[in-house]
Amino acid sequence: MIRLKRILAVILAALMICSGLSACGEPTSETIAPAGTAEVSGSAEMPETAETPESSGTEETTEAKPGFFLTAEYDRLYFAPLDGSAPRLLVDNSTVLFEHWGDWLYASFEDGSVMRLTSDGKKEVLLPAGGHEYRKLIPFDGGFIGAYYSFIDGSGFDLYRDGSQTPESLFSDSPVIKSCAAGRYIYCHRYDVENDNLLVALDPDTLETVWSISVDSTMEMLRDGSGILCFMPFSGQLFRIDEDAQTLVPVYIRLAKTDTELVMSCDGTFLVKGNYSDEYRSYLTDENTRRLLEDETLPSYYSVLDVCEGKALLHYVTGLESAAGDHFSYAQDNYRVLDLKSGAITEFPVLGEYSALFASGDFPVMDSSTARKPVTSEIYEFFCESTGAGGTVPLCSTTHNAWLNIADGIADIALLAAPTQEEQDYLKERGVSVEMKLYGGDGLVFIGNRACGVDDLSLDQVRAIYRGEITNWAQLGGADHAIRVLYRDDQSGSQRLFERMVWKNEDVPDFKGLGFEILDDMSSIVSECLRDPYAIGYSIMTYLNDVFSKEELLAFSLEGYAATPENVASKNYPLGTQGYVVIRSDEPADSPARRLFDWFGSPLSDVILNHNSVTPLHDE
């Protein structure tokens, strides 16, 4: 399944960053001993990570070094010193964008929070999580403006003033605002029917208009070290705002009429994009020269993340296909450093705090149920393929076989449901005890075909169908046709969940004796429900989301609640499930399996689970 959402979001954020770039708990774990012995609880300490925007406070700072702010590892915010030392994780949260203002870096995050921080460790939370996801930040002395996008209302702007936790809506009663910047005044490029396009300067305290002038309809604003630039795409015109004279002053550099984007400015050198033969090409230009940037590895949709000591950090993302080739889940970050004097472009490898865990190539052998194949594939892509470190491709041997592989030492770590008595007996026979920790929730889902005419079932109705008491969809208000009942073998993960959760207070019926059909795997049940309008079976919610997306397939709601991650997290869905990450108890403290076990429960592990529709859960 192709996952393009994150790639598109990164590209959108990158473009908006370019337009405003400044140049200058400790989870617990459970140990299962071989059957017949007592269960022992324990704990597994998680590696420390940087403070998230939900918390604040004074932190011990480190010595400031020159370097780049950047996003890596699913948009975590890092600082990478120019001297080549390891990048430092600053904020363990998905970053939308960041913007310099003086000594501070302002950053917005996907959860709606906003923070300002410095490279030496100072942090201040300006807005808590839960607000707008700002796609552009415009800092000024005393606050910032946050721009967000609403599919209903278009662009929106909030004004935040220092000391306030509640931003106020800005420009809500104004004509269309095309762009915004801040200096001594707050500047907005606005359009209205009467006055056409205006550059308007507002007093930051009163928000009253101080002065305004007419401008082109296609104008973009960005800051550099000496003020605010106004670029007129497709006309090759560049101006600087003269705040004292309250006008625009031409800036004479070698621009072309086909230049479509001013990417950045630093000390008189400008990075622009020109549209030649329908291919975007990048140029470095100043008063005297114009040089084409020639790097075949650099795509047209790169962004400039940061500038330091005459060097610009360029960033772009590429898709990374899974080893199995069956889905496309991880967007790989790529970095280049552009020397603004020579025009040279060099590699800038970034190995973050998480991906460095297995940089030596000692990734453990993972196993899992079939439903967790997308999760284990994405974890493998992140730790092994994106870093080039390599490692054994996850096994995904099905629930029962994965338990056997843990017992036999074939697998080092696995994502599984709790063991059956048979599996506990096998662990005892092998003399193996295991440690397990809750990592996420899922759901057992009953599936059928929309043609059956029923979309909601009660658990009593489900039990009646599988007892052979309800045999026709008409008895449930649907089509007048016999119900074809499907089930799995008793060692499959979905079957054991079905028996444990649906029949927990009574004997499991003899499905074979009732004439029901047994199928070998989950995909067969889904395929039969797609083919036969009157079949019913069951599967795992995330497996359906990741592998099947045909509209004909119906996932029945239960007791009025749809099978969604939100309903699983709220415990409203009646058949929510729990999954465990499992290792052998004798794994050494710093073994690869133990390191990966400890990684589960981190913010980044939760991100990968969410990508695959698994609801992150942690032991309390």
Please tell me the predicted confidence (pLDDT) of residue 566. 84
Average pLDDT, the chain: 83
Lowest mean pLDDT of 147-151, 235-239, 498-502, name the range.
147-151
Examine residue 409 and state whether it is found in any structural domain, yes or no: no
Contact 436, 582 (CB under 8 A): yes
Q: Of the ranges 22-26, 38-42, 84-88, 247-251, which is most confident? A: 247-251
Same domain for 451 and 339, yes or no, is no
- pLDDT above 70 (res 153): no
Examine residue 46 and state whether it is found in any structural domain, yes or no: no
Examine residue 303 and state whether it is found in any structural domain, yes or no: yes
Q: Token digits for 73?
A: 């590892």
User: Going by C-beta distance under 8 Å and a sequence separation of 6 or more, which residues neighbour residue 153?
Assistant: none
Residue from 612, 606, 618, 617 nearest 110 by CA: 606
Top-confidence residue, 510 or 331: 510
Residue from 98, 100, 48, 43 nearest 76 by CA: 98
Residue range 429-453, pLDDT digits in tens: 999 999 999 999 888 899 999 899 9
Same domain for 463 and 338, yes or no, is no
Examine residue 556 and state whether it is found in any structural domain, yes or no: yes
Among 307, 330, 353, identify where a domain stops: 353
- Report the C-alpha gap between 487 and 494 in whole angstroms: 9
Contact 120, 62 (CB under 8 A): yes
The Cβ of residue 575 has, within 10 Å, a number of other Cβ atoms equal to 22
Examine residue 602 and state whether it is found in any structural domain, yes or no: no
Examine residue 133 and state whether it is found in any structural domain, yes or no: yes
Residue range 102-143, pLDDT digits in tens: 889 999 999 999 999 999 889 999 999 999 999 999 999 999
Examine residue 10 and state whether it is found in any structural domain, yes or no: yes
Percent of the chain surpassing pLDDT 70: 84
Please tell me the predicted confidence (pLDDT) of residue 329. 53
Same domain for 316 and 449, yes or no, is no
Same domain for 223 and 331, yes or no, is yes
**At 545, which CATH number?**
3.40.190.10
Among 289, 321, 353, identify where a domain stops: 353
Please tell me the predicted confidence (pLDDT) of residue 549. 57
Same domain for 156 and 295, yes or no, is yes
Residue from 234, 209, 329, 301 nearest 12 by CA: 301
Please tell me the predicted confidence (pLDDT) of residue 9. 42
Among 353, 369, 384, identify where a domain stops: 353
CA distance to 28, 230, 514, 606, per residue, from 617 (Å): 12, 49, 38, 9
Residue from 338, 336, 339, 318 nearest 328 by CA: 318
Query: What is the span of the domain harbouring residue 224?
Result: 5-21+69-353
Q: How far apart are the first and last CA of the chain?
A: 33
Examine residue 586 and state whether it is found in any structural domain, yes or no: no
**At 276, which CATH number?**
2.130.10
Same domain for 349 and 464, yes or no, is no
- pLDDT above 80 (res 51): no
Same domain for 322 and 469, yes or no, is no
Same domain for 468 and 329, yes or no, is no
Instruction: Count the domains in the chain.
Output: 2
pTM value is 0.78
Same domain for 340 and 446, yes or no, is no
Same domain for 454 and 343, yes or no, is no
Please tell me the predicted confidence (pLDDT) of residue 102. 87
Top-confidence residue, 94 or 173: 94
Residue range 206-256, pLDDT digits in tens: 999 999 999 888 888 988 878 899 998 877 789 999 999 999 999 999 888
